[in-house]
């Protein structure tokens, strides 16, 4: 029997098209994360999933997934797949040895044993026919009219998984490049609805952990969660619900966020983005009287390298300490940061230059040099 749920698959493809076509002229869409799916239909349920997403070296996302599956029947072998769209936009879309050019370190461990896998290039939503994956060779999809910025095919990583009767554990890992554009410093999506293709049509026990690094501000749109679902910040940070709870913005000083839900049957996908904050402080010099909002995330500080007057300079140079909640003794500095939605006063914090991130130290030196010229 074939379990390639056409409607779910087409919804997934439609979502991806809306997501990455916008990168065609002003950025690069590299890859998506995705849930493992059964290519052959068997009576196997997803009882638990812990999905951990970690940003590394600013431009990469590491995906670590712990699955618990339950096989209701006798021991059997199931063909399992991982589906990935081609990159789009300012990219090199040529496959690398038949695999996705921006996905790396792919591995699968099942019940303590490492599994081998193959990668297929496909261009049909119903790619499993007559007991086989209808794979294309590179010469079939890369011809004289091939557009390296917008390949028309996608990839299926697949492996044979032997499910013993009862509980089975799969640990799945891979890494891919974070997308970006003129509007977003980085972004990525993860296809959650693919989980609905297992026999129980849900994940019985689901945990999502997202760690984007220190001093980061990012937004997650409401799609797979609703306003009644809870997010937990572990470490130091604050969450701001957007207009009518349609999105949540997280300002994380140091830590990670967690989403947990029982009987999770996702109806939408995860989309996370970090704005370039181009709406802030368009003047060449920071003016505290005109620039009433100053961004939290550390990357944007590179745009703040001068100030119009001494008071503005004192405000902006104290940004690293405001991120950590320092309560300023100078009234106008304290008043300015109290009006920032990300500011969390911390009576226990005392400014310590040596404990700042190296990027913050370098920025403070550049700011001072610019102002003294």
HSE-CB of 253 using CA atoms within 13 angstroms: 20
Domains, the chain, with CATH or none? 6-275 (2.60.40.3680), 298-372 (1.20.58.1690)
Strands, E, within 267-344: which ranges?
270-275
What residue has token string 């499993």?
Answer: 128
- CA–CA–CA angle 253, 341, 349 (5° rounding): 45
Strands 270-275 vs 184-191: parallel, antiparallel or unpaired: antiparallel
Half-sphere exposure of 7 (CA within 13 A, CB side): 2
Read off the pLDDT of residues 207-255 as tens digits, 9 standing for 90 and up. 999 999 988 989 998 899 988 788 999 998 889 886 666 789 999 989 9
Average pLDDT over every residue of 158-174? 97
Tokens of 134: 């209808």
Q: What does the pLDDT look like over 133-161, one tens digit per residue?
A: 999 998 888 888 899 999 989 999 999 99
Beta bridge pairs of residue 66: 50, 171
Nearest-angstrom CA–CA distance, 225 and 359: 34
Are 46 and 66 within 8 A, CB to CB? no
User: Cα dist. 287→104, 297, 321, 332, 336 in Å?
Assistant: 44, 19, 19, 13, 12
Written as six digits, the tokens of 108 are 């699968």
Which one, of 92, 269, 298, 67, lies nearest residue 188 by Cα? 269
> Span 261-271, mean pLDDT?
95
CB 51 within 8 A of CB 209: yes
Which residue is it, tokens 């509980």?
167
Q: Give the CA distances from residue 251 to residues 212, 214, 236, 237, 334, in Å, rounded to whole numbers and listed in that order.
A: 10, 9, 9, 5, 19
Residues 334 and 327: beta-carbon distance below 8 Å: yes
9 has pLDDT over 60 = no
Each residue's pLDDT tens digit, 54-78: 999 889 999 999 999 999 999 999 9
Task: Find the distance separating the first CA and the last CA of the chain, reported in whole Å.
Answer: 74
């Amino acid at each position: 029997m074939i379990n390639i749920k056409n409607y779910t698959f087409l919804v997934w493809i439609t979502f991806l098209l809306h997501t990455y076509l916008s990168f065609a002229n002003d950025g690069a869409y590299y890859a998506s994360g995705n849930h493992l799916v059964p290519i052959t239909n068997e009576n196997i349920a997803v009882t638990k999933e812990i999905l951990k997403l970690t940003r590394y070296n600013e431009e990469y996302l590491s995906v670590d997934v712990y699955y618990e599956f339950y096989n209701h029947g006798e021991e059997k072998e199931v063909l399992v797949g991982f589906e990935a769209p081609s990159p789009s936009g300012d990219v090199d879309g040529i496959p690398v040895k038949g695999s996705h050019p921006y996905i790396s370190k792919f591995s699968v461990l099942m019940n303590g044993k490492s599994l081998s896998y193959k990668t297929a290039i496909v261009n049909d939503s119903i790619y499993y026919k007559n007991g086989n994956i209808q794979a294309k060779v590179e010469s079939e999809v890369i011809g004289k009219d091939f557009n390296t910025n917008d390949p028309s095919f996608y990839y299926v990583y697949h492996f044979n998984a032997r499910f013993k009767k009862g509980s089975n554990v799969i640990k799945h890992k891979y890494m891919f490049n974070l997308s970006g554009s003129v509007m977003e410093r980085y972004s990525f999506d993860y296809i959650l609805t693919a989980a609905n293709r297992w026999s129980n049509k849900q994940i019985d026990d689901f945990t999502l952990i997202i760690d984007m690094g220190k001093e980061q501000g990012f937004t997650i749109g409401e799609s797979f969660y609703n306003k009644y679902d809870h997010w937990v910040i572990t470490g130091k940070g604050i969450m701001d619900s957007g207009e009518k709870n349609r999105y949540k913005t997280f300002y994380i000083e140091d830590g990670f966020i967690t989403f947990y839900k029982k009987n999770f049957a996702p109806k939408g996908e995860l989309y996370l983005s970090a704005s370039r904050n181009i709406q802030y402080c368009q003047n060449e010099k920071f003016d505290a009287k005109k620039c009433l909002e100053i961004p939290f995330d550390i990357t944007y500080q590179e745009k703040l390298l001068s100030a119009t007057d001494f008071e503005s300079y004192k405000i902006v140079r104290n940004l690293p300490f405001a991120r950590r909640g320092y309560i300023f003794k100078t009234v106008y500095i304290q008043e300015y940061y109290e009006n920032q939605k990300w500011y969390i006063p911390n009576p226990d914090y005392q400014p310590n230059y040596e404990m700042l991130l190296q990027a913050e130290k370098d920025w403070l030196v550049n700011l001072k040099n610019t102002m003294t010229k």
